[in-house]
Amino acid sequence: MPRVVIVDDHDLFRAGVRASLGPRVEVVADSGDVESAVHAIDELRPDVVLLDVHMPGGGGVEVIRRVGASRPDVRFLVLSVSDASEDVIALIRAGARGYVTKTISGPDLADAVCRVRDGDAVFSPRLAGFVLDAFAGEIPAAQVDPELDLLTPREREVLQHIARGYMYKEIAAQLGISVKTVEAHVSAVLRKLQLSSRHELSRWALHRRLVEE
Amino acid sequence: MSMSYPANPPRGGFRIAVGIGLLVLSGLLFVRAAGPWPGDTIVWPAAVAALGALLIWRAPAVVPRRPRGWAAHRSSEQRPSRRQSEPERVRVRGRPEVSRGGLGVALVLAGGFAFLWASGAMRPAGETVLAALAVLIAVALIFAPSWRRLARSLAAERTERIRTQERADVGAHLHDSVLQTLALIQRSAEDPKQVAALARHQERELRGWLADGDSRENGRTLAAAVDAAAAEVEAAVGGSIEVVTVGDCPLDERARAVVAATREAMLNAAKFAGEAPVSVYAELSSERIQVFVRDRGPGFDPATVPPERRGVRESILGRTQRAGGRAAVRSQPGGGTEVEIAFDRGDKR
């Protein structure tokens, strides 16, 4: 049974998540700010940390930054109402293994926790959209490291299906590949997001900010 | 010499200044040819003064840029970079204009003195002028700090006023929308479906408002229009529709056809989907527009739909084809339904 720490600055929400996760998951602690979250993770060594984006004292990115290196076996799953793709992508790039919205049902969330614990990536349709957005755009091939800065056609296809609301099983059936292969593609996308030289991503972020101005 | 400082020079201000300059020049030339003329010594001082006047005219009034909408109100830990950069931006912006105006004033004064000097008007009164000048400089030195402080407190007060107004705007919006919805939710607490619908509607509205006040609200882009259509369908039929968009494009005629067909597909999906959410995915790139609307309802066999059922055939497939795109419906009994709407943007219709 995966051991979980919930990090969110809303007391009511933490209580709600704790109740809805059900018996498949053991919640060992919850904390409402960065400081106590770092302490709890260090102390209790949970399998999975459910992490909010915005919190007093630096937010989810700060938590990952402070414990990610010393506790590489702890996995982070972002659970947030945030709609800002920059925030979510920043957390994924910092090392989180997935992003689900707070409207997710209890059983689905427990499912996602188990998958993250097993080392899989959890992409909600929204996250798939953010990632496709981040990797979209055509730039001359000479400027980028194609290994890292571009998605392969297959990876793009898998992400598009996730964004269209397909489950991994359905994607596998549609594309005629195994569920394991779908998972491998998603993990590869995650790795690219975290490692790439990010010419493209920074250009994207810049563009986003300009659009927002 | 009196000089007007236009609070906010209109675009044509520069042209007007040039026009006045040319008129004055022609007048001077006329006087030189026909009437009493003090001598050519006037030319260079006048040119310097004119240049200074031009600089003053061209220097726009220092107006701090109003912080955009909600951005100014997010708490500092949420948006540290933007919040911190705001006052700085105002200050940096103010500086070049002030120095340009100052340079203009100096040039005009220098021109005036040069003229007086050259025409000999200063010689008899030389010492008086020098004394007056010394007093002026002393006064300026004495009062400069307090003027500076005054200017600064004025700027601070203006910033504060803008903040207050923003806060009032936010307050008004929260009152109109969120508080109203909360009241409605309390009144219909026994009907969970109604509560969920109200909450979803309010969430969508608030997100749209937070994300980007202007462009999305007015539905000027395809992504915003699809979002708005999803909200309408949710309000009309119920259920929940998850919209994910990648990229965006302006709302031209073709995009309008996409929105109309997508809306129809969402209506169908929401009617048959039951409790499960409807997924809408729109990919809008420079080459093509592609929209998928997927529900997890009972599904149907497209071959068995009677020809008089016009909903799907006419409003989705027909509409899309007439606008130059293509649409497809994939469904299996028990496997849900997916409608795909696609346009190539490269080709002409």
Lowest mean pLDDT segment, chosen from A93-102, B21-30, B240-249, B301-310: B301-310
Give bridge partners of residue B244 from the DSSP assignment.
B281
Pick from A200, A213, A59: which is nearest to A134 by CA?
Answer: A200
**Residue A164: its chain B contacts at CB < 8 A?**
279, 281, 292, 294, 338
Q: Is B70 on the interface with A (CB under 8 A)?
A: no
Give me the percent of chain B exceeding a pLDDT of 70. 72
Q: What's the pLDDT score for residue A159?
A: 92
Contact criterion met (CB < 8 Å) for A164 and B246: no
Q: What's the pLDDT score for residue A144?
A: 52
If you write DSSP's letter for every residue of B205-272 in order, what string do you get? HHHHHHH-HHHHHTT-BHHHHHHHHHHHHHHHH-S-EEEEEES--B--HHHHHHHHHHHHHHHHHHHH
Over residues A170-182, the mean pLDDT reads: 91
Contact criterion met (CB < 8 Å) for A132 and B68: no
Q: Is A207 on the interface with B (CB under 8 A)?
A: no
| CA–CA dist B171, A137 (Å, integer) | 39
Contact criterion met (CB < 8 Å) for A129 and B246: yes
Q: Is B113 on the interface with A (CB under 8 A)?
A: no
Lowest mean pLDDT segment, chosen from A203-212, B13-22, B303-312: A203-212
Q: Is B76 on the interface with A (CB under 8 A)?
A: no
Asked if pLDDT for residue A188 goes beyond 60, the answer is yes
**Residue A52: its chain B contacts at CB < 8 A?**
none
Q: What's the pLDDT score for residue A182?
A: 92
Q: pLDDT tens, B243-290?
A: 998 888 888 888 888 888 899 889 888 888 777 788 999 998 877 889
Lowest mean pLDDT segment, chosen from A2-6, B160-164, B211-215, B239-243: B211-215
Residues in chain A, total: 213
Helix (H, G, I), strand (E, B) or coil at A166: coil
What is the bridge-based pairing of β-strands A122-123 and B337-344?
Answer: unpaired
**Residue A132: its chain B contacts at CB < 8 A?**
246, 283
Please give the ipTM for the structure prediction. 0.78
The pLDDT mean for chain B works out to 75
| CA–CA dist A150, A95 (Å, integer) | 19
Q: What's the pLDDT score for residue A176?
A: 93
Which residue in chain A is spatially nearest to B68 when comparing CA positions? A213
Among B283, B286, B290, B293, most A C-beta atoms within 10 A, so best to mutate, is B283
Contact criterion met (CB < 8 Å) for B283 and A83: no
**Residue A128: its chain B contacts at CB < 8 A?**
244
Lowest mean pLDDT segment, chosen from A74-83, B112-121, B247-256, B285-294: B112-121
Q: What's the pLDDT score for residue B281?
A: 93
Asked if pLDDT for residue A47 goes beyond 90, the answer is yes
Asked if pLDDT for residue A141 goes beyond 70, the answer is no
Q: pLDDT tens, B1-37?
A: 444 444 444 556 678 878 888 888 888 788 878 766 6
Report yes or no: A107 and A21 within 8 Å, Cβ to Cβ.
Answer: no
Higher confidence at residue B312 or residue A50?
A50
Q: What's the pLDDT score for residue B215?
A: 46
Confidence of residue B292 (pLDDT cuts 50, 70, 90): very high
Over residues B160-186, the mean pLDDT reads: 83
Q: Is A128 on the interface with B (CB under 8 A)?
A: yes
Higher confidence at residue A72 or residue B126?
A72
The pLDDT mean for chain A works out to 82
A160 to chain B, minimum CA–CA distance in Å? 8
Q: What's the pLDDT score for residue B11?
A: 54
Quick one: A105 exposed, middle or buried, by C-beta within 10 A (0-12, 13-18, 19+)? exposed
Over residues A174-189, the mean pLDDT reads: 91
- The shortest CB-CB distance from B294 to any of A54, A56, A165 is to A165
Lowest mean pLDDT segment, chosen from A9-23, B174-188, B210-224, B333-347: B210-224
Higher confidence at residue B206 or residue B302?
B206
A147 to chain B, minimum CA–CA distance in Å? 22
Higher confidence at residue B209 or residue B61?
B209
Q: What's the pLDDT score for residue B213?
A: 55
**Residue B201: its chain A contacts at CB < 8 A?**
none
Contact criterion met (CB < 8 Å) for A133 and B294: no
Residues 87-126 of A with CB under 8 A from B: 125-126
Over residues A9-38, the mean pLDDT reads: 88
A118 to chain B, minimum CA–CA distance in Å? 27
Q: pLDDT tens, B218-239?
A: 557 888 889 888 888 888 887 7
Contact criterion met (CB < 8 Å) for B279 and A164: yes
Give bridge partners of residue B250 from the DSSP assignment.
B221
Q: pLDDT tens, B206-215?
A: 877 776 654 4
Q: Is B202 on the interface with A (CB under 8 A)?
A: no
Q: What's the pLDDT score for residue B232?
A: 85
Q: What's the pLDDT score for residue B90?
A: 41
| CA–CA dist B288, B222 (Å, integer) | 12
pTM above 0.80, yes or no: no
Rg (CA), chain B: 34
Over residues B311-328, the mean pLDDT reads: 81
| CA–CA dist A96, A76 (Å, integer) | 5
Asked if pLDDT for residue B77 goes beyond 60, the answer is no
Q: What's the pLDDT score for residue B53?
A: 78
Locate A74 and state its tokens: 């702890």
**Residue B78: its chain A contacts at CB < 8 A?**
54, 59
Rg (CA), chain A: 17
Helix (H, G, I), strand (E, B) or coil at A21: helix
Asked if pLDDT for residue B144 goes beyond 90, the answer is no
**Residue A158: its chain B contacts at CB < 8 A?**
none
CA dihedral for A51, A56, A59, A62, sign (positive or negative): negative
Which residue in chain A is spatially nearest to B69 when comparing CA positions? A213
Q: What secondary structure, in 3-state letters, does A22-58 show? A: HHHCEEEEEECCHHHHHHHHHHHCCCEEEECCCCCCC
Confidence of residue B72 (pLDDT cuts 50, 70, 90): very low
Contact criterion met (CB < 8 Å) for B77 and A125: no
**Residue A133: its chain B contacts at CB < 8 A?**
246-247
Q: Is B134 on the interface with A (CB under 8 A)?
A: no
Q: Is B214 on the interface with A (CB under 8 A)?
A: no
Report yes or no: A67 and A31 within 8 Å, Cβ to Cβ.
Answer: no
Cβ-Cβ contacts under 8 Å between A and B: the total is 52
Q: What's the pLDDT score for residue B293?
A: 92
Asked if pLDDT for residue B79 goes beyond 60, the answer is no
Contact criterion met (CB < 8 Å) for B77 and A55: yes
A43 to chain B, minimum CA–CA distance in Å? 26
**Residue B211: its chain A contacts at CB < 8 A?**
83-84
Asked if pLDDT for residue A213 goes beyond 70, the answer is no
Asked if pLDDT for residue B60 goes beyond 80, the answer is no
Over residues B326-342, the mean pLDDT reads: 85
B295 to chain A, minimum CA–CA distance in Å? 9
A17 to chain B, minimum CA–CA distance in Å? 18
Lowest mean pLDDT segment, chosen from A80-89, B23-32, B74-83, B310-319: B74-83
Over residues B308-325, the mean pLDDT reads: 77
